[in-house]
């Protein structure tokens, strides 16, 4: 991947982002269109298309993404009131950027898990 992938370009510093935490293997930055008072995207620096590919290909790296998300949740003061961590995946999941990212959402009550009851 690389130049074709928006989030690889953010990792490379080619596109600016408001970075809130960086580790050797992960990056966390604020979503450009926040859906909650806190809306941070957490990604592995290495390119994986989605959470299934990441978890199957490198489970340890998937764990590092979760650990970074937890550290950001703590930094942002979300641990007391809670938060939501979400991986949109594929067409039905509404994924738009195909470099795996966890959405960390919080800072206000987030409402129901889904806008509509699809069951
Ligand atoms: P998805 O729908 O793939 O789960 O989420 C993609 C997210 O990336 C969206 O919430 C969108 O606002 C965010 N996004 C898209 N382009 C950019 C960008 O250039 N910079 C940042 N920081 N976020 C972006
Ligand atoms: Zn990428």
**3-class secondary structure per residue, the chain:** CCCCCHHHHHHCCCCCCCEEEECCCEEEEECCCCCCCEEEEEEECCCCCCHHHHHHHCHHHHHHHHHHHHHHHHHCCCCCCCEEEECCCHHHHCCCCCCCCEEEEECCCCCCCCCCCCC
Report which protein residue has its CA nearest ligand 1's atom 20. Answer: 32
Tell whether pTM > 0.95.
yes
pLDDT tens column, 50-103: 999 999 999 999 999 999 999 999 999 999 999 999 999 999 999 999 999 999
Residue among 8, 21, 41 to mutate when testing ligand 1 (max atoms within 8 A of CB): 41
Q: In angstroms, rounded to a whole number, what is the distance separating the alpha carbons of residues 104 and 30?
A: 9
User: Which ligand has the shortest distance to the CA of 94?
Assistant: 1
pLDDT value at 114 more than 80: yes
pLDDT, tens digit, 9 for 90 and up, residues 2-33:
689 999 999 999 999 999 999 999 999 999 99
The C-alpha torsion from 93 through 18 and 5 to 98, rounded to 10°, is: -10
């Amino acid at each position: 991947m690389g130049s074709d992938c928006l989030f690889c370009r953010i990792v490379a510093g080619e596109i600016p982002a408001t970075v809130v935490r960086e580790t050797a293997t992960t990056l966390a930055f604020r979503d450009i269109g926040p859906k909650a008072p806190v809306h941070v995207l957490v990604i592995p620096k290495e390119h994986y298309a989605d959470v299934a590919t990441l978890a199957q290909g490198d489970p340890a790296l998937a764990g590092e993404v979760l650990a970074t998300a937890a550290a950001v949740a703590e930094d942002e003061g979300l641990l007391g009131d809670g938060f939501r961590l979400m991986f949109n995946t594929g067409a039905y999941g509404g994924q738009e950027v195909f470099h795996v990212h966890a959405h960390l959402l919080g800072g206000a009550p987030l409402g129901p898990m889904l806008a509509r009851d699809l069951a």
